Chain A
Amino acid sequence: MSKKTLFDKVWDAHVVSSIKNGPQILYIDKHLIHEVTSPQAFNELEDRGIPIFRPDQIVATADHNTPTINQDQPIEDALSRNQLAQLSENCKKNNITLYELGHQYNGIVHVMAPELGVTQPGYTMVCGDSHTSTHGAFGSIAFGIGTSQVAQVFASQCLLLTKPKSLRVTVNGKLKKGVLPKDVILYIISKLGTNSGTGYFCEYAGNVFEEMSMEGRMTVCNMSIEMGARGGMIAPDETTFNYVKGRKFAPKGEDFAKKVAYWKTLPTDDGAQFDKEYHFEAEDIEPMVTYGTNPGMGIKISEKIPKDENPSFKKSLAYMNFEAGESLINKPINYVFIGSCTNSRIEDFRVAADFIKGKKKANNVTAWLVPGSKQVEAQIIEEGLKTVFDEAGFELRQPGCSACLAMNDDKIPQGEYCVSTSNRNFEGRQGQGSRTILASPLVAAATAVEGKIIDITKHLN
């Protein structure tokens, strides 16, 4: 029998048929939707008189365009209010499960779906959002799609796709103190660049990922898209099974045991071939920050900004108001954002609270903590982390995408720097003219306390 990768096994099990010299019809198990990329797809089907084929395989949430304060009150902005109303109406009309604003299961789509056990190993999952790659942490094939494809999945529970190539990134060794999963993925992207993964699905392998929690694995897979890959995957193991077990939509009893037996067959066979392989040593990784306007422009916090004569590189530095050769240490920072589908899970807030405990936020800093879901929010309160944050002067807001894309009112002002745990540092991403520095929740927390970027590695020893 030929040797197969995790990706091959899951993909091949979902091929309905192949078009000669063309794409394949791939069956989709779970379709997640939200308010921003679904309305035009619903309209399209309605205009063409096509019914939704499998409404019970769709789960909806409102997250991108929701306020993070006063969620119990009507939304002020008329366009946003309308977008949410449309989602509710579309879901109701089509019998789709929706966890709307304020529901106990509401949250960022890539945080709430795994929490509810919607995400499971061996599945194919899609959503009209590029960070759908997050769900690959469970050993599923999960990727973002455009609105036309949302309409295709509505109509047929399938997509027409050409099988991507496979790529494996292996990281072995022992991570240093203070190096979090976010640093691992920022490091990988800084080494490989933002389009090294285009056309590929990426598997993360090695003991670093094997020893990571599910939350950490989700952070890593989340950012696969930032190196161009459609998705990332990590082989399911006991950590995965334990996480899924007992969740709302997880299989129960004997069904669960049967599933686990199947899930155990999924990891990549020894000797299976990848189209491309990269290896890194865990010991080389340090806490990371970005200095430019794409996630590949990252350095170790103790390093200096490199020199490069490329005009796009220079344009990027000019936008950030940084100079080549400069260090980011001691840069004054007025905004800190801990949130987004990359780092808004309970573990992220535990790391932040652990550092913040007994300290105070610097006076110059506005620090927003935005949980990924209502469940995370509840857990923050239950574990007493909220008290830590309140006492330190941090603002715990209500769940949603928030300042990650600044579609709602959570915007970073023109020209200001924000140390952010999100995944994109594009020009204006967090508000027109805003300047984003991507980092881990630990670096973000430390920045908020100090009012400037510090070399966190020195503070941990």
Chain B
Amino acid sequence: MEKFTTLKSTAIPLNIENVDTDQIIPARFLKATDKKGFGDNVFRDWRYHKDGSENSEFILNNSKYSGSILVAGDNFGCGSSREHAAWAIVGYGFRVVVSSFFADIFKGNALNNGLLPVQVSESFLINLLNRIESNPNTELEINLQNQRISIVGLDISENFEIDAYKKTCMINGYDDIDYLINNKEQIEAFEAHKIY
């Protein structure tokens, strides 16, 4: 997994609530058996018309906006457990998603793939979206060590929460498998004394 410490970037504002994983990556693209290539189809049915032409109204197709941070409306990533959604967002080039609320499974999947979910207050999110929409050059800075998100050059910032263990994993690029395998003896001992 790629390490994450700080990131400074412009951002893409996706001002839509309840973005579900079926929108992030529609089911018909789930037939692949490896993790590559999902970025090409992220938000497929919003990005392209049914005839394959680009939907110029969708924010990802607006050349004014760019960057490796996605700022999205409330309750991002609800729906299916498909980790393909996280692979698609990472595959497109995002390292951070900012929202005022994340669905549980999506959040876990993101963290397992080096994608940092930054949960901010609703008022902070509205402020961010407004500023980015009116000025696409607005830069954000995410500092994982300090758990702080700020708008570069302005005195606007907020702290965000992250599980201490997950934070260490992200900063060092470890994953859970490494940890679990190192605890095999303990797991075997548990199996021998299960109470149920």
Contact = CB atoms under 8 A, between A and B. Distances in A.
Given A39-B33, A427-B45, A130 B83 contact: no
Nearest to A407: B27
B64 interface: no
A318 to B, nearest CB: 13
B155 interface: no
Interface string A145-180: 111110110011111101000000000000000000
B13 to A, nearest CB: 13
Interface in A30-76: 36-37, 39-40, 43-44, 48, 50, 53, 64-65
A273 interface: no
Contacts of A64: 30
B34 A156 contact: no
Given A148-B113, A405-B27, A194 B186 contact: no
Contacts of A405: 22, 27, 80
B110 to A, nearest CB: 9
B18 A23 contact: no
Contacts of B186: 16-17, 25
Given A22-B165, A428-B45, A145 B104 contact: no
B154 interface: no
Interface stretch (A77-85, A283-291, A298-306, A361-369): A77-85
Contacts of A310: 17
Interface stretch (B4-12, B88-96, B142-150, B177-185): B177-185
A158 B183 CA distance: 10
A40 B112 contact: no
B22 A428 contact: yes
Contacts of B32: 79
B35 interface: yes
Most buried by B among A48, A158, A162, A414: A158
A427 B26 CA distance: 10
B20 interface: yes
Contact of A195 (B45, B78, B83): B78
B32 to A, nearest CB: 7
B26 A428 contact: yes
B107 to A, nearest CB: 9
A230 B104 contact: yes
A149 B164 contact: no
Contacts of B57: none
B105 A65 contact: no
Contacts of B26: 428, 432
B195 A160 contact: no
A208 B159 CA distance: 44
Interface string B88-125: 00000000000001011100110011000000000000
Contacts of B20: 294, 424, 426
Contact of A25 (B18, B80, B113, B187): B187
A195 B187 contact: no
A353 B30 CA distance: 34
A181 interface: no
Contact of B50 (A22, A83, A129, A414): A414
Contact of B16 (A65, A158, A312): A312
Interface residues on chain A, size class: 35 or more
Interface string A1-43: 0000000000001001101011101010000000011011001
A65 B81 CA distance: 16
Contacts of B23: 426-428
A432 B50 contact: yes
A65 B83 CA distance: 17
Most buried by A among B45, B177, B195: B177
B79 A144 contact: no
B109 A146 contact: yes
Given A82-B33, A144-B105, A27 B191 contact: yes
B46 to A, nearest CB: 9
A21 B165 contact: yes
B177 A50 contact: yes
A327 interface: no
Given A43-B34, A50-B177, A130 B81 contact: yes
B34 A228 contact: no
B112 A407 contact: no
Contacts of A374: none
A206 interface: no
Interface of B: 16-18, 20, 22-23, 26-28, 30-35, 45, 50, 73, 75, 78-84, 86, 101, 103-105, 108-109, 112-113, 163-165, 175-177, 179-181, 183-184, 186-187, 190-191, 194-196
**A-B CB proximity, top 5 nearest:** A22-B165, A148-B112, A39-B33, A79-B31, A156-B180
Given A148-B113, A228-B75, A426-B79, 10 more contacts: A36-B30, A50-B181, A144-B81, A146-B112, A148-B176, A152-B177, A230-B104, A230-B105, A310-B17, A407-B27
Interface of A: 13, 16-17, 19, 21-23, 25, 27, 36-37, 39-40, 43-44, 48, 50, 53, 64-65, 77, 79-80, 82-83, 86, 122, 128-130, 144-149, 151-152, 155-160, 162, 194-195, 198-199, 228, 230, 262, 294, 310, 312, 315, 405-407, 414, 424, 426-429, 432-433
11 contacts: A16-B183, A25-B186, A64-B30, A79-B31, A82-B33, A144-B81, A144-B105, A148-B176, A195-B78, A230-B105, A432-B45
